Amino acid sequence: MAKKSFKAETRKLLDLMINSIYTNKEIFLRELISNASDAIDKLKFQSLTKPELLENNGDFEIRISIDKDNKVLTVSDNGIGMTYDEVVENIGTIAKSGSKEFIEKLQGTDSKNAAELIGQFGVGFYSTFMVAEKVKILTRAAGAEPSEGVVWESKGDGSYTIDKTDKIERGTEILLYLKEDILKEMHLLDKDEIEELVTRYSDFIRYPVKMDVGKDAPEEKVLNSMKPIWHREKSDVTDEEYKEFYRHTFHAYDEPVDVIHSKGEGNVEYTALIFIPSQVPFNFYSSHFERGIKLYSKQVFIMDKCKELIPEYLGFIRGIVDSPDFSLNISREILQHSSQLKVIAKNIEKKILGALKYMLENDRPKYIKFWNEFGKAIKAGIYADYGMNREKLQDLLLFESSYSEELTTLDEYVKRMPENQKEIYYAAGRDRNALKHTPQMEMLAEKGYEVLYFVDKIDEFASTILVNYKEKPLKNISGSELNIFTEEEKKEKEEKRKERESQSKSLLETLKKHLQEDVQEVRLSSRLRNSAVCLVSGEGISINMEQVLSEASMSNMPAPKATRILEINPDHRIFAKLNEIYSADPDSGKLKDFAEVLYNQALMIEGIAPKDPVKFASQISEIMSEVPV
Ligand code: ADP
Ligand code: MG
DSSP string over 449-510: --EEEE-SHHHHHHHHHH-EETTEEEEETTSS----S-HHHHHHHHHHHHHHHHHHHHHHHH
CATH architecture of 399-476: 3-Layer(aba) Sandwich (3.40)
Mean pLDDT of 171-195: 96
pLDDT grade, residue 485 (50/70/90)? confident
- pLDDT score for 97: 45
Q: Is the pLDDT of residue 516 over 80?
A: yes
pLDDT grade, residue 99 (50/70/90)? low
Q: Which range (70-79, 195-204, 397-406) has the least confidence?
A: 195-204
Q: Is the pLDDT of residue 529 over 50?
A: yes
The domain locations on the chain are: 2-222, 229-367, 399-476, 497-537+560-625
Q: Is the pLDDT of residue 174 over 80?
A: yes
User: 386, 348, 66: which is closest to 214 by C-alpha?
Assistant: 66
- pLDDT score for 395: 96
Mean pLDDT of 181-187: 94
CA 336/CA 324 separation, integer angstroms? 17
The length of the chain is: 629
Q: Helix, strand or coil for residue 94?
A: coil
- pLDDT score for 190: 96
The ligand placed nearest to the CA atom of residue 82 is 1
Q: Is the pLDDT of residue 418 over 90?
A: yes
Q: Is 595 in the pocket of ligand 1 (CB under 6 A)?
A: no
CA 123/CA 163 separation, integer angstroms? 25
Q: Which range (99-113, 146-160, 226-240, 417-431) has the least confidence?
A: 99-113
Average pLDDT score, the chain? 88
Of the residues 34, 78, 102, 125, which should be mutated to test ligand 1's pocket, given the most ligand atoms within 8 Å of the CB? 125
Residue of 410 and 549 predicted with greater confidence: 410
Q: Is 173 in the pocket of ligand 1 (CB under 6 A)?
A: no
The overall pTM is greater than 0.75: no
Q: Which atom of ligand 1 is nearest to the CA of 34?
A: 2
Q: Is the pLDDT of residue 128 over 80?
A: yes
For ligand 1, atom 18, the nearest C-alpha belongs to 35
Mean pLDDT of 505-531: 92
For ligand 1, atom 21, the nearest C-alpha belongs to 35
CATH of 497-537+560-625, one of 1.10.287.990, 3.40.630.30, 1.25.40.10, 1.20.120.790: 1.20.120.790
Q: Is 251 in the pocket of ligand 1 (CB under 6 A)?
A: yes
CATH architecture of 229-367: 2-Layer Sandwich (3.30)
Q: Is 82 in the pocket of ligand 1 (CB under 6 A)?
A: yes
CATH architecture of 2-222: 2-Layer Sandwich (3.30)
Cα-to-centroid distance, 312 and ligand 2 (Å)? 28
For ligand 1, atom 11, the nearest C-alpha belongs to 90
Residue of 285 and 409 predicted with greater confidence: 409
Write out 176-208 in H/E/C secondary structure: EEECHHHHHHCCCCCHHHHHHHHHHHHCCCCCC
Of the residues 33, 35, 88, 121, which should be mutated to test ligand 1's pocket, given the most ligand atoms within 8 Å of the CB? 35
Mean pLDDT of 526-552: 85
Residue of 337 and 195 predicted with greater confidence: 195
Q: Which atom of ligand 1 is nearest to the CA of 35?
A: 20
For ligand 1, atom 12, the nearest C-alpha belongs to 90
Query: Percentage of residues in the chain with pLDDT exceeding 90?
Result: 58
Q: Is 91 in the pocket of ligand 1 (CB under 6 A)?
A: yes
- pLDDT score for 576: 93
Q: Is the pLDDT of residue 555 over 70?
A: no
